[in-house]
Amino acid sequence: MTAVEPKADQATITVRNPADGRVAGTVPVDGPDTVAAKARELRLYQTEWEEIGPRGRKAWMFKWQDWILDNADHLTEVLMSETGKSRKDASLEPVALADSIKYWAGNAEAFLADAHPKPHTLIYRVKKLTTVYRPYQLVGIIEPWNFPLAMLALDVVPALAAGAAVLLKPSEVTPLSAVEFARGWTEVGAPPVLGLATGYGETGAAVIDNADYVHFTGSTATGRKVAVACAQQLKPLSLELGGKDPAIVLADADVDRAANGIAWGGMFNSGQVCISVERVYVEAPVYDEFVRKLTANVRNIAQGQEDSGFKYDTGAMATAAQCDIVDRHVQEAVAAGARVLTGGKPTGVGTFFQPTVLADVTPAMSCIAEETFGPTLPVVKVADEDEAIRLANDSKYGLSATVWTGDIDRGERVARRLDCGAVNINDALTNVFCPSLPMGGWKDSGIGYRAGGPSGLIKFCRQQAITAPRIPTQKSELVWYSSSRRQARMAIRAMRAFAGKGVRRFGVRPGK
């Protein structure tokens, strides 16, 4: 069963619930001409959106936030219908979206205020130096299927708060949440600077062609293609790509907390999280205890499809293709000598795959080397901290990691040795909920950063430098051609005096 019916020549996309195959809704396939027309219309209104300033934008975005909270139950139902998520997992997304609006719209005025850097030398004290942040007119955002609303909180919301117009292309697997997202913007009467383009790869390519700045979240393979397309057009971009996040459990860790946190960090949203725990390295003295407790936790995870209430912890996987990858990784691990301690196979219903723990895993297995993006936790026994760090860094990915220890200082030392963009100590997934922190991948996990306080807005802006005189101006500056040679020599001597150190400031070589 697939979540969509991918026929390249069709006029609409039929979205199905991966948990049971029922039709959840349909959206049109927007061709390049349609995308270009939407982009032109967005540009018409962006100037006014920028000119009303952060306070004006804040007023509209807070009305939108009210709409999202008032319609949170409906948004949750739509999410469940197109992703197969549990209600518990789906319910987090509207709330995260509302929280993101509060942060970015609420702080935009301070973050985007003109900056006045201090002159680097006394010579330039006579100049007023200003950095101005002017948004890109149209930001194109292409998002994946694992968090159809929460991803928009990370990218669309700050771009709007920065003053840009946004053309959003959601995944063809889960476009229905984005339709509701955009509908809310329209229903509160906000300026028409948020557009939606639905379709397949051709639609995404058209978004890139028509945007001034591009953000893409998805697989590393597709991210490379996006990067090439942007490079050919000299367009700035940011990419948040694949991950294979390690967890390191040291011998001094609180094993109960580690087992609880890693179970959640690996199984949340059925493991379909870019920063989910995908491989676990445990020091030998606590390996057996940890594996026993982790297995018990994962075995107790309630998985299923629900119409009401909060009965289940996790739901189905979003696509049959992703479920097949998970199944292959488990089968290949078992064939190479790993043991399945719980789970290990599809349930036979929809795209559900049992929450799985693998023991006796080795670094060469595909479940360690490749991104799984599913509900599996392969566990590797290591001799010590150094081996754990070496194996954790032995990956082409570098998105985030977790370290579990009873000594926070030790945890921070380990964190600084890990080659990834974020490390959570005695916790999992925390950084993504903290917009004041940067979220970015190293190595094949991406280019650029999300969030990070002011940087999360400035990334959607062009920085403009403005200089102006602080004192009454003369007819000529000292180094202009209209000045005398004597004035030019004076200026150069002054520049050298401020640039150099010691006697070199005065044109004297030491020892001469």
Q: Name the residues annotated as catalytic.
A: 240
CB-CB neighbours of 324 under 10 Å: 15
| Three-state secondary-structure class, residue 386 | helix
Helix extents (H) in 163-254: 176-187, 201-210, 220-232
| Three-state secondary-structure class, residue 300 | coil
| Residue corresponding to tokens 């200003």 | 130
Contact 439, 154 (CB under 8 A): yes
Among 10, 376, 13, which Cα is nearest to 2's?
13
User: 464 vs 51, 120, 127, 133, 239, CA distance in Å?
Assistant: 16, 18, 16, 6, 24
CB-CB neighbours of 72 under 10 Å: 16
Six-digit token string for 415: 């964190």
Among 356, 223, 351, 173, which Cα is nearest to 278's?
356
* Contacts (Cβ under 8 Å, ≥6 apart) of 46: 135, 137, 138, 163, 164, 165, 193
Q: Which residues pair with 279 in a beta bridge?
A: 246
Q: Which residues pair with 438 in a beta bridge?
A: 451
Among 141, 244, 252, 238, which Cα is nearest to 197's?
141
Q: Which residues pair with 130 in a beta bridge?
A: 466
User: 222 vs 64, 372, 397, 439, 484, CA distance in Å?
Assistant: 32, 16, 15, 20, 60
Q: Which residues pair with 256 in a beta bridge?
A: none
Among 483, 90, 68, which Cα is nearest to 316's?
90
Amino acid at 441: G
| Three-state secondary-structure class, residue 263 | helix
For residues 129 and 189, give the distance between their C-alpha atoms in angstroms, rounded to a whole number: 39
